[in-house]
Chain A
Amino acid sequence: MPLTRFTTLDFDQIKAGIKDYLRANTKFTDFDFEGSNFSVLINTLAYNTYINAFNTNMVLNEVFLDSATLRENVISRAREIGYVPRSRTAAKATVSFSAITSANTPTLTLKKGLVCVGKAENSSYTFSTFDNITATTKDFVVDGITYKKSDFNNIEVYQGVLLQKVFVVDGSVDQRFILDNSFVDTSTIKVYVKGVSDTGLGGEYSVVDNIVNVNNLSEIYLIQEIVDEKYELLFGDGIFGKKLENGSVITVDYVVTDGENGNGASEFSYSGQLTNANNAVVTVAFTIDITTNQSAQFGSEIETIDSIKYYAPRIYSSQYRAVTSRDYEAIIKTIYPDTESVSVVGGEELNPPQFGKVQISIKPKNGTFISDFVKTQIYSKLKNYVISGINQEIVDLKVLYIEIDSSVYYDTSRVSSTDSLKSSIISSIQKYSRSIDLNKFGGRFKYSRLVSLIDNVDRSITSNITKVRIRRDIKVSVNTPTQYEICFGNAFHANPDGLNIKSTGFKVFGHPNVVYLTDVPNDDGKEGVISVVEPKVDESGQVIYVVIVKSAGTVDYENGEIILNPVVITETSAPNNVIEVQAFPDSNDVIGLKDLYLSFDVSKSTINIVKDTISSGEKISGVGFANISSYPNGNLTR
């Protein structure tokens, strides 16, 4: 009998294989007994085979991008397809301060390196600048003494420590230019090469990530990650990129950062160094107070192994060209690592179609919108990848919120505390709200999933009646005549009596009281009119609604769109100049259409706990059972 089990990785199976072989091919008999000498030999053989098989398996795993587990192997496989993993990114803050000195100098220079120390979550983080910043001084008199004062406004400081590494090129083939620190933010690396005949630091080299448009005189370098999350610089060979001369001095400035831990730092204390016009260090006459223009943000961790495995093949398949929406998704996540989700819609899919245009919505990891500055950065970086003649437009994120109003029946004999039951339901819903179905572009809220999830939270729950609402928040342009178009992407349920569209309160120009939106469907039930109404208490103490503007806009129930005619809104009841507009979806399954980002808002959902008097045996005939309506309520306002 031959030894045929080559593939097994289990010690006992290997041992059984050897025993089977011996049973058929030897006159020895005692290998079946664990105490025998033969067992000692078999154990040794099997262990050796096992270790060999295990090692081979591990080595082969590391050969492929999909199965590699060690970071250095994953990045090595990714490098083969031209992918450079993202490094840590330093959090960036913008600060301003004034420095007053008794030294008589026309300028003050803030030396590059440490500028201030910021606090985030009870930890201190250092913030640095890359370059010297010089500001002119002006006279400043305090108590009859004249000082010199310089204003340093809107200085960008980066979380981390600025370090410098100097290499001297020795011309040897095996010389490597490795930055000794892990946690480097590669976007902060500045490389200066001083040739033999140059003075100062020499010329600055620029980083490239591929060799397109690179010739033998291009002063470029490439970065690659090596072991222990360190980085190596690669210079030209005289064909692609300028070759380094023997004896050249390479000076590399870079920041070692704490990544996302630095985010949120908003209180800074000054720790920098100032010099006068003669480059001599000067002391300040008064303590420097730092004003924070923008607290620290955009710090991020080094790209994870999972992310490298996901994006490396996608970037390779996109060939660094943004053509399909998947290409945009991969490229935008590379150039803006703070991206959580991206939606890209071709102009031909828009209504009306806008050919030659690509609409991009980005959901950042923190918050719901990206600043104009970041948009400009993304536009400029995208230019390297996009096809000529196609215009990109980054539109603000449109969040479609889902809220539920759930009445949950419970068996009183099976539960001790309704509060704990309610909190278990809320915690389960919160878990679902973070699920992969939602919180993304193109997401889908699955009603039946939610309903069964609520039923299964606890065995005391007998049933639930859950109503779904959808909501959009209008960011109002206060005191400006503006037309608003609110797209929900889902058809509305149109009750012929109205009360389908509800809003939070707001004030309009020329009217002192808080008003609300409501709708009146047309006879066909497909479209309707939006009116602005004000609640008032009549003589009998009843709340009545007085129409302020009869035709304030239109509603398209079939397409889920609300258009408000130009209106001047002066104030909103909800904070941050927001009007919450809600509707009831025609289908309980809600989808995030095109650029709508689907988000389940548990905080604005309501959970009511209702006694199931039939199941608990209180009223088995059903008389007096608390029947909950499955349809929207009749209130006019949210």
Chain B
Amino acid sequence: MAVQRISREFKDIDLSFTPHPITKDLQILKNESAIRRAVRNIVETIPTEVPFDSLFGSYVRASLFNFCDFATAARIQSQIEIAVKNYEPRVNNLRIEVDPRPDSNTFLCTIIFDIIGQEIPTQTFTFLLEANR
């Protein structure tokens, strides 16, 4: 049986670099918001973008040149799933839903996951990918 780890708190920096309105400190992202950001970073990174780690990222952007249909959606879903499974070890029970919306030429992506080792409810976040055609 796999060892169930208890994670410490996850803390990441916010790349918007907006200072806290009162303390004027740089804002930080904690736990689920930090992980949500990380998942999104992975999906949005184009492979070869990160120095010396040419595989990091997902090929979602390349798929956005294809037709906005279910076939492309399935491909995007698979690409997001592979990328997150490979590069985000803090999540499990990953489910990806990609819904093509030909009228607006977009894909609605919903990513659902649990965070390992934290008593945090299942996370769901959505974002829109706009096809380039």
Mark out the residues of chain B between 53 and 106 whose CB falls within 8 Å of any chain A CB in the assembled complex.
53, 56, 87-90
In the assembled complex, which residues on chain A have CB atoms less than 8 Å from the CB atom of B42? 34-35
Q: Identify which of residues 104-156 in chain A touch chain B, using a CB-to-CB cut-off of 8 Å.
A: none
Cα A43 to Cα B9 in complex, Å, equals: 23
Instruction: Return B15 CB to nearest CB of chain A, in Å.
Output: 5
Contact, CB under 8 Å: B11 / A37: no
Are B88 and A35 interface neighbours, CB within 8 A?
Answer: yes
Q: A36 an interface residue at 8 Å Cβ cutoff?
A: yes
Residue contact B38 to A28, C-beta cutoff 8 Å = no
Q: Is A30 at the interface (CB under 8 A from chain B)?
A: yes
Contacts of A50 in B (CB 8 A): 51
Please state if A37 and B52 are interface contacts (CB–CB under 8 Å): no
Contact A37 B10, beta carbon cutoff 8 Å: no
Looking at the assembled complex, report how far the CB atom of A332 sits from the nearest CB atom of chain B, in whole angstroms.
Answer: 50
Q: Which of B38, B87, B89 has the most CB atoms of chain A within a 10 A radius of its CB?
A: B38
Q: Are A38 and B13 in contact (CB under 8 A)?
A: yes
A37 adjacent to B13 (CB under 8 Å): yes
Contact flags A1-44 to B (C-beta < 8 A → 1, else 0): 00000000001100000000000000111100111111111010
Interface size on B, residues (CB 8 A): 25
Q: Does A47 contact B (CB under 8 A)?
A: yes
Q: Contacts of B13 on A, CB cut-off 8 Å?
A: 28, 37-38, 41
Judge if A256 is at the interface, Cβ distance under 8 Å. Answer: no
Q: Which residues of B contact A12 (CB under 8 A)?
A: 52
| Bound Cα distance from A33 to B29, whole angstroms | 14
**Cα-based distance from A33 to B52 in the complex (angstroms):** 16
Q: Does B28 contact A (CB under 8 A)?
A: yes
* Given known contacts A28-B13, A29-B11, A37 and B37 CB-to-CB distance under 8 angstroms: yes
Interface residues of B in 27-57 (CB under 8 A from A): 28-29, 34, 37-39, 41-42, 50-53, 56
Residue A315 is within 8 A (CB to CB) of chain B in the complex: no
Contact at B87–A35, with CB atoms within 8 Å?
yes
Contact B41 A40 (CB under 8 A): yes
Does the CB pair A37–B50 fall under 8 Å?
no
Contact between B51 and A28, CB atoms less than 8 A apart: no
Interface centre among A11, A28, A30 (most CB of B within 10 A): A30
Partner of B52 from A11, A30, A40, A41 at Cβ < 8 Å: A11
A33→B37 CA distance, assembly (Å): 11
> How many A-B pairs fall under 8 Å by CB?
58
**Chain B: CB-nearest residue to A32:** B89
The yes or no answer to A46 lying at the interface (CB within 8 A) is yes
A33, B10: Cα distance in complex, Å: 10
In the complex, what residues of B have CB within 8 A of residue A38's CB?
A: 12-13
Cβ contact within 8 Å between A37 and B51: no
Residue of B nearest to A15 (CB): B52
Tell me if B39 and A35 are in contact (CB < 8 A): yes
| Given A33-B88, A33-B89, A34-B87; A28-B56 close (CB under 8 Å) | no
Chain B residues near A30 (CB, 8 Å)?
10-12, 34, 38
A259 to B89 alpha-carbon distance, docked (Å): 63
A24 to chain B, nearest CB (A): 15
Q: How many Å from the CB of A312 to the closest CB on chain B? A: 38
How far is it, in angstroms, between the C-alpha of A46 and the C-alpha of B52 when the chains are bound?
Answer: 11
Distance of A430 from chain B, by nearest CB (Å): 44
A201: min CB distance to chain B, Å: 60
A-chain residues with CB within 8 Å of residue B89 when the two chains form the complex = 33
B8 at interface by CB-CB < 8 Å? yes
Q: For the complex formed, measure the closest distance between the CB of A26 and the CB atoms of chain B, giving whole angstroms.
A: 9
The answer to whether B50 and A28 have CB atoms under 8 Å apart is no
Contact (A37, B56) CB under 8 Å given A11-B51, A28-B28? no
CB distance from A411 to the nearest CB of B (A): 50
B115-133 at interface with A (beta carbon < 8 Å): none
Interface positions of A from 257 to 285, Cβ below 8 Å from B: none
Q: Is there an interface contact between A36 and B8, defined as CB atoms closer than 8 Å?
A: no
- In the bound assembly, the distance between CA atoms of A36 and B89 in angstroms comes to 12
Bound CA–CA A331/B53 (angstroms): 52
Q: When the two chains form the complex, which single residue of A33, A35, A47 contacts B51, counting CB atoms closer than 8 Å?
A: A47
A to B CB contacts below 8 Å, 17 in the list: A11-B51, A28-B28, A29-B12, A30-B11, A30-B12, A33-B88, A34-B53, A35-B38, A36-B12, A37-B12, A37-B13, A38-B12, A38-B13, A39-B41, A40-B15, A40-B41, A47-B51
Q: List 19 other contacts, CB 8 Å, given A27-B11, A37-B29, A40-B15.
A: A11-B51, A11-B52, A28-B13, A28-B28, A29-B11, A29-B12, A30-B10, A30-B12, A30-B38, A35-B38, A35-B39, A35-B42, A35-B87, A36-B34, A36-B37, A37-B12, A37-B15, A38-B12, A41-B15
Top 10 A-B pairs ranked by shortest CB distance?
A: A35-B38, A30-B12, A35-B42, A11-B52, A47-B51, A37-B15, A35-B41, A36-B12, A36-B38, A29-B11
